[in-house]
Amino acid sequence: MNLFNKKCEYCRTKIEKEKEIIRDVKVLGHIGTYPKNFCSNEHTNKYEQELEEYPKQGNKKRGCC
């Protein structure tokens, strides 16, 4: 019975035991880095890329006031 399966932070799919990739990444709204689980190196790179682009997207969505 797998009650505590780990999930990928990027795609939210369950990861088999001992196949997860743990990497320290920045979390929005917090200072520093925290360990997060990913299912592949590709998803870790995409997650970090989206975090870098997030502040740039936020400025575009704001109104004039």
- CATH, domain 6-53, list 1.10.357, 3.30.310, 1.20.1430, 2.30.170: 2.30.170
Domain locations in the chain as residue ranges: 6-53
Stated pTM of the model:
0.73
Is there a contact between 38 and 7 (Cβ–Cβ < 8 Å)?
A: no
Is there a contact between 11 and 39 (Cβ–Cβ < 8 Å)?
A: yes
Query: Residue range 7-13: average pLDDT?
Result: 93
Can you read off the two tokens belonging to residue 12? 């939210």
What's the pLDDT tens digit per position in 18-59?
A: 899 999 999 888 899 999 999 999 999 999 999 888 776 655
Compute the distance between CA of residue 24 and CA of residue 4 in angstroms, rounded to an integer: 20
